[in-house]
Amino acid sequence: MVYKRSKLSFLQHFLFLTIGIFFGVGAIWPGIISNTGRKCFLKIIKDGSDGNVSLETIFSITPNYLLEINNSKNKYNKVLLVGDFCFRKF
């Protein structure tokens, strides 16, 4: 009986965690649900992955975000800033 309860408890905790992450990311970045926000994010990440960024991509980002992205020290913060730009804009 204890084994069945632990399986059910694990499944319940996993379900709550998954739903919490989904709603948390949706609350922080509401545009993640829209198709235009995802296209913007993937376009910027794909264009900048090789180290060379085209002028079209640079001009699509506002100057304030460009300065914040440029001054960021690690790649994780840069991805978060690109996500903020794309998912909050649309």
Q: What is the mean pLDDT of the chain?
A: 84
Q: Is the pLDDT of residue 49 over 80?
A: no
CA nearest 68: which of 77, 55, 57? 77
- Do the Cβ atoms of 30 and 72 come closer than 8 Å? no
User: Percent of the chain at pLDDT above 70?
Assistant: 92
pLDDT of the residue at 51: 73
- Output the pTM of the full model: 0.66
pLDDT of the residue at 4: 64
The whole-angstrom separation of Cα 3 and Cα 37 is 44
Q: Is the pLDDT of residue 26 over 60?
A: yes
Cα 81 off chain centre by? 9
Burial class for 84, CB neighbours closer than 10 Å (0-12, 13-18, 19+): middle
| Residue 57 in tokens | 């991509």
Token look-up 């699509």 returns 60
